């Protein structure tokens, strides 16, 4: 069955042949339709038995065949003729350079290549004379020795590290402006027995103890305070986060703390502070009378503690106030 499609494959390989056949088919269809149309018109007029109708029919039919035949012949002739190639403006033929010029150019390129391979001369180093050291007009200040060392301890998460940082930030950072109080962070007391023994030993080697709490004393904390007071070092209880209690509740907690302290403890050595106060809402009235609410964080309140330590460790003659510093020799900061 496929052998009947062989001529079609032959025509498919030659597009111009297919185009010719298509043009011939279109011409034949136009001729057939024209003859049919003109014949129908002629038959209509022939019914009138007029000789002029026959003459007109012959002339129209002759003109139709001449026009269609001419167009078809010209179209088929154009398809049969080879396609004319468009002549594009070509480039001018390159003229080879003379041998002398090529040789000279090759020598210049080789010379530049050789020069490029040589390392560039290193720049000469100029001797730089250091500027003369500035002579200070003021005599060097001698740092005073530490006035005392206080061991800071208490239960975990009571704010011991924050208290040390706040005291150091409120101090005057001048060596001869005040005596220096070193604050040694010994860590929490609610750890194992070995750690508690190390805290007690460190407290025994210091000049005083800051025991920081954030609520009323519990039984383990009272027991740790008794061991710390056995070192015969002054102990100061600091109630932190006092802003979280109302005035009446804060006074009640302070009374309870003083009542639970062992014999020999001075009630004046228990104070309350606010190291990191919580933000509070404030009503702000502008010039137009509008009221807006803003959250503002108050400043830390350490006056009770600083006054107590200044009374216990009065500055030396000629000094104005105490200077607090974190003891860097105590190792990493603890909770």
- Which of 155-164, 166-175, 315-324 is the most confident on average? 155-164
d(CA 286, CA 273): 33
Instruction: Say if domain 146-330 classifies as CATH 3.30.750.210.
Output: no
Confidence of residue 71 (pLDDT cuts 50, 70, 90): confident
What's the rounded mean pLDDT across residues 77-102?
A: 60
- 139 has a pLDDT exceeding 60: no
Name the DSSP class of 269. Answer: G
Confidence of residue 192 (pLDDT cuts 50, 70, 90): confident
Confidence of residue 88 (pLDDT cuts 50, 70, 90): very low
What's the rounded mean pLDDT across residues 92-112?
A: 73
- 183 has a pLDDT exceeding 80: yes
What DSSP string describes 133-157?
A: PPPPSSPPPPPPPEEEEEEEEESTT
> Would you call 23 exposed, middle or buried from its count of C-beta atoms within 10 A (0-12, 13-18, 19+)?
middle
What's the rounded mean pLDDT across residues 75-92?
A: 55
- 151 has a pLDDT exceeding 90: yes
The predicted structure's pLDDT at residue 232 = 92
Return the SS3 of 304: helix
Confidence of residue 144 (pLDDT cuts 50, 70, 90): low
Q: What is the per-residue pLDDT across 249-292, written as a single tens digit (0 to 9) for each?
A: 999 999 999 999 998 899 999 999 998 888 877 777 777 778 88
Domain ranges of the chain: 14-80, 146-330
């Amino acid at each position: 069955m496929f052998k009947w499609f062989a001529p079609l494959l032959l025509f498919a390989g030659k597009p111009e042949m297919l185009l010719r056949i298509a043009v011939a088919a279109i011409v034949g269809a136009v001729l057939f339709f024209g003859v049919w149309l003109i014949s129908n018109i002629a038959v209509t007029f022939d019914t009138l038995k007029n000789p002029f109708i026959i003459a007109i029919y012959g002339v129209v039919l002759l003109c139709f065949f001449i026009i269609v035949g001419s167009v078809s012949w010209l179209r088929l002739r154009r398809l049969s003729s080879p396609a004319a190639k468009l002549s594009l403006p070509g480039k001018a033929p390159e003229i080879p350079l003379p041998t002398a010029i090529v040789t000279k150019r090759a020598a210049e390129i080789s010379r530049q290549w050789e020069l490029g391979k040589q390392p560039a001369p290193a720049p000469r180093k100029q001797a730089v004379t250091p500027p003369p050291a500035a002579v200070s007009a003021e005599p060097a200040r001698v740092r005073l020795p530490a006035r005392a060392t206080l061991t800071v301890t208490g239960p975990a998460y009571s704010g011991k590290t924050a208290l040390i940082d706040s005291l150091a930030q409120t101090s005057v950072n001048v060596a001869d402006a005040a005596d220096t109080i070193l604050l040694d962070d010994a860590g929490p007391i609610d750890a194992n027995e070995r750690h508690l023994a190390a805290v007690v030993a460190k407290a025994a080697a210091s000049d005083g103890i800051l025991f920081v709490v954030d609520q009323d004393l519990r039984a383990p904390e009272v027991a740790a305070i008794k061991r710390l007071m056995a070192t015969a070092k002054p102990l100061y209880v600091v109630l932190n986060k006092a802003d979280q209690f109302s005035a009446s509740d804060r006074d009640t907690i302070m009374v309870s703390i003083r009542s639970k302290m062992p014999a020999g403890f001075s009630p004046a050595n228990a104070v309350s502070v606010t190291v990191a106060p919580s933000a509070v809402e404030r009503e702000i009235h502008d010039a137009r009378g509008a009221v807006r609410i803003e959250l503002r964080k108050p400043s830390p309140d350490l006056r009770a503690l600083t006054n107590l330590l200044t009374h216990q460790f009065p500055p030396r003659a000629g000094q104005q106030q105490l200077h607090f510093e974190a003891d860097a020799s105590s190792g990493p900061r603890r909770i």
